[in-house]
C-alpha cells in the first residue's frame, strides 16, 4: 500500500501537525526519500518525535520502515511490467497448481456433503462464487451462498453440521473469516475447503482441503488490484473436474 493510500486510510487519526507533515511528504516525495528523520523534522518545522508519531500512525514501526516504503514506492512506479504477460502467467500457474493436486478427496466431499455453503471474503470473490453456483446447479448441487460474515456466523451457530461442507474463497487467506469463527468450525469438525492465492496463510492452515490459484498484485494490496480471472479459472476447473467425477461414477454403475 503506498504512502498516499495510507495517509487517506488513517486521515481521521492525524492531527493538524500530522496533516502538515503528510502534505509535505506527498508534495516532495523524491526529496523525502533521502532525508533523515532530523532533516524531515527541520523542513516541516516539527520535531523528531512528531515525525516518529506520524509514521507510527500510518502503521509503520518507525521512520526507517516508512523511508523504505517510500523508496520502494518510487521503484515500483518505475517498473515496466507487461500486465498481459502477467495475467497469462497467473492463468498458466493456476492450471498447473490444480493439475498437481489430488482433488479426488475434495470432489468426494463436495459430492457427499448434505449441504454446501459458499462464502467469499470480498465482493469479487462473491461474484466468482455466484457464477460457480449457477454452473453447478444443473448437476443437482445447490450451494447456499453466504453473503456476509454475519450470515456465516448465524449458520455456524445454527444448522451447519460435520456432514456439510463450507467453501471459503479468499485472496490472502488472512483477513476473513475472523480467527474465532475458524476455530469454532474446527471445534465443530466442519469440513472446510479453502481456495486462496498460493501462499502459506491462516485460512489454508485451518482448512480440511485446499485449492490454490495464482493472482499477482498489480498495484496496491487491495482486492481491486488483483485480477479475478484466476479465481474464475480455479472455480471453473473445479466445476469441470466435478463433471468428470460424476461421469466416471456413472460409468461404474
- Rounded to the nearest angstrom, the gap between the alpha carbon of residue 239 and the centroid of all alpha carbons in its chain is 22
Domains (ranges, CATH) in the chain?
3-78 (1.10.10.10), 83-251 (3.40.50.10490)
In 3D space, the residue among 218, 224, 215 whose CA is nearest the CA of residue 195 turns out to be 215
Q: What is the mean pLDDT of residues 75-96?
A: 76
Encode pLDDT of 90-148 as tens digits.
999 999 999 988 899 999 999 999 999 999 988 889 999 999 999 999 999 999 999 98
213 bridge partner residues: 197
217 bridge partner residues: 226
**Residue 75 banded pLDDT, cuts 50, 70, 90:** low
| Number of residues written out for the chain | 253
In 3D space, the residue among 239, 235, 19, 247 whose CA is nearest the CA of residue 127 turns out to be 235
Q: Are 222 and 175 in contact (CB under 8 A)?
A: no
Q: What is the mean pLDDT of residues 24-44?
A: 90
**Residue 223 banded pLDDT, cuts 50, 70, 90:** very low
Place of cell 523511508: 67
Amino acid at each position: 500500500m503506498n504512502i498516499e493510500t495510507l495517509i487517506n486510510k488513517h486521515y481521521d487519526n492525524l492531527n493538524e501537525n500530522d496533516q502538515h507533515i503528510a502534505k509535505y511528504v506527498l508534495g516532495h516525495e523524491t526529496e523525502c526519500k533521502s532525508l533523515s528523520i532530523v532533516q524531515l523534522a527541520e523542513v516541516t518545522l516539527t520535531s523528531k518525535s512528531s515525525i516518529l508519531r506520524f509514521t507510527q500512525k500510518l502503521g509503520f514501526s518507525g521512520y526507517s520502515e516508512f523511508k523504505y516504503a517510500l523508496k520502494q514506492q518510487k521503484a515500483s512506479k518505475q517498473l515496466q511490467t507487461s500486465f498481459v504477460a502477467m495475467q497469462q502467467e497467473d492463468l498458466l500457474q493456476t492450471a498447473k497448481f490444480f493439475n498437481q493436486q489430488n482433488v479426488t478427496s475434495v470432489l468426494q466431499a463436495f459430492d457427499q456433503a448434505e449441504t454446501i455453503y459458499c462464502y467469499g471474503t470480498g465482493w469479487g470473490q462473491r461474484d466468482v462464487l455466484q457464477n460457480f453456483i449457477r454452473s453447478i446447479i444443473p448437476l443437482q448441487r445447490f450451494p447456499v451462498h453466504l453473503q456476509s460474515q454475519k450470515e456465516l456466523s448465524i449458520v455456524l451457530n445454527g444448522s451447519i453440521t460435520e456432514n456439510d461442507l463450507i467453501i471459503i474463497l479468499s485472496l490472502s487467506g488472512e483477513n476473513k473469516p475472523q480467527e474465532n469463527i475458524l476455530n469454532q468450525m474446527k471445534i465443530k469438525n466442519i469440513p472446510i475447503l479453502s481456495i486462496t492465492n498460493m501462499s502459506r496463510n491462516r485460512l489454508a492452515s485451518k482448512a480440511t482441503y485446499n485449492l490454490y490459484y495464482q493472482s499477482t498484485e498489480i498495484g496496491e494490496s487491495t482486492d481491486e488490484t488483483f485480477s479475478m480471472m484466476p479465481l474464475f479459472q480455479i472455480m471453473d476447473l473445479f466445476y469441470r473436474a466435478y463433471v468428470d467425477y460424476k461421469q466416471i461414477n456413472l460409468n461404474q454403475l
